[in-house]
Structure 1
């Protein structure tokens, strides 16, 4: 991605927090009025689970971005987990335990009630899968896992240090933590990511973690990057 004459707003993990996403986007629109050139919003993944309105978040991201902006949505591990359940590759309970319950509630589905009505686990799964709109599933399947520029990497969780970007494993890009944070290996580019919740945005070396746990704090964070300069924005400023 060419970031010349471009202002980029990277947004941390939304996790079903539709109101916070709307509030943050409004602040991004106001902030961007001072800039000419391209304007890009990069969503860092994890749109579903945990928060109350996963369905509305997906619908919002499928709709056109704010006027004058391009929006790029990356995959997070929670989208991958949801797809794995819908495809029959992950049992229901592990997904529900990491926030899938709240996602299903947002689609008007109560798994416990379905279990009481139908008993059969296969029947319950079939009815759940029938409720999720095909367009939402298709949207999640198309999400890229990483966007790179000359100086920046935008990714959900991080990268494996010492491995070329083109050789990175998708599982690392979506899930890595300790190996990414504790390495002494110098990163070649700034890595802007979410996945690991921090009380305040954390800038450690060339790692920029902007996941401020919106689903439990109400604070959804973005970082504006133009050239070599950055500025933080929050849904609760």
Structure 2
């Protein structure tokens, strides 16, 4: 299995296309193909905050329709899913940018898009367990003891939000423990969710969210080589959005 696992896109469609091209893919009938039979994979949060969430999601829909999607949904994915089901969800922290695009549709097309998104989300696993258990793609990470366990709200919360303490930072973001430092599993875990300036390798984990939507980079890790490939962001740089670990 040869994968190129891309970090949080957050509506940065142009950077996504640039990265896919840099990774060596060509497009046939709108689908990416690689001469070495590599395949794209994603750590989730394709939408929110960036300029082209709908276009990014429609690309994911096309991959899914052609059985070419490997995607671990994130917290932003889950929030849009709850909205698509008619739940009362606050449109903030980026969701408002996606919904501004969706609300520009006609009422019929808006319903069609949200229904398609609901189907998209319901077909996704909580996290991806690949290559006979040698590779896990989980949006915010996962503890080794959780891998393969039956679904629970505790595991879902960890995968979507990380190892949160229940406390919040002054800007409202949750305080998270650095779970990767304690990871001792044999599988590689590729995740995102917490923006870092460079892809972060700790034990057998790698965080590939390099904050594209905050002016950093869009990053992929090539599996099994574990090589990093990035393209620069076209968005304004917001340094305070990046997490710096000790």
TM-score, normalized by the shorter chain, greater than 0.5: yes
Q: TM-score, normalised by structure 1?
A: 0.75
Which segment is superposed worse, 52-61 or 145-154? 145-154
Structure-1 residue corresponding to 2:102: 107
In 1, Cα distance between equivalents of 2:191 and 2:101 = 26
Q: How far is 1:84 from its partner?
A: 1.1
In 1, Cα distance between equivalents of 2:100 and 2:45 = 17
1:71-105 Cα deviation digits (max 9, x unpaired): 312211111111112323343x3xx2211111012
Q: How far is 1:25 from its partner?
A: 1.0
1:61-72 counterparts in 2 under 5 A?
Answer: 61-64=60-63, 70-72=68-70
Secondary structure at the aligned position of 1:220 is classed as: strand
**Residue 74 of structure 1 is aligned with which of 55, 72, 77?**
72
Matched, 1:175 2:171: no
**Residue 14 of structure 1 is aligned with which of 9, 16, 30?**
9
Count residues with an aligned counterpart.
209
**Residue 227 of structure 2 is aligned with which of 213, 227, 231?**
231
Say whether the 8 Å CA contact 1:162–1:185 is kept in structure 2.
Answer: no
1:92-171 counterparts in 2 under 5 A?
Answer: 93=90, 96-109=91-104, 130=111, 132-148=113-129, 149=131, 150-167=133-150, 169-171=155-157
Say whether the 8 Å CA contact 2:197–2:216 is kept in structure 1.
Answer: no
In 1, Cα distance between equivalents of 2:62 and 2:22 = 18
Structure 1 185/215 Cα, relative in aligned 2: closer, same or farther at 3 Å?
A: closer
In 2, Cα distance between equivalents of 1:33 and 1:76 = 25
Structure 1 187/73 Cα, relative in aligned 2: closer, same or farther at 3 Å?
A: same
- Structure 1 stretches lacking a partner, 5+ long: 1-5, 111-125
Say whether the 8 Å CA contact 2:134–2:187 is kept in structure 1.
Answer: yes
Q: How far is 1:210 from its partner?
A: 0.3
Q: How far is 1:182 from its partner?
A: 5.9
In 1, Cα distance between equivalents of 2:8 and 2:103 = 23
Secondary structure at the aligned position of 2:49 is classed as: coil
Task: Provide the aligned C-alpha RMSD in A.
Answer: 3.2
More helix by share: 1
Say whether the 8 Å CA contact 2:10–2:50 is kept in structure 1.
Answer: yes
Greater C-alpha Rg: 1
Task: For CA contacts below 8 A with separation 6 or more, give which structure has more relative contact order.
Answer: 1
Secondary structure at the aligned position of 2:182 is classed as: coil
Q: How far is 1:132 from its partner?
A: 3.7
Secondary structure at the aligned position of 2:226 is classed as: strand
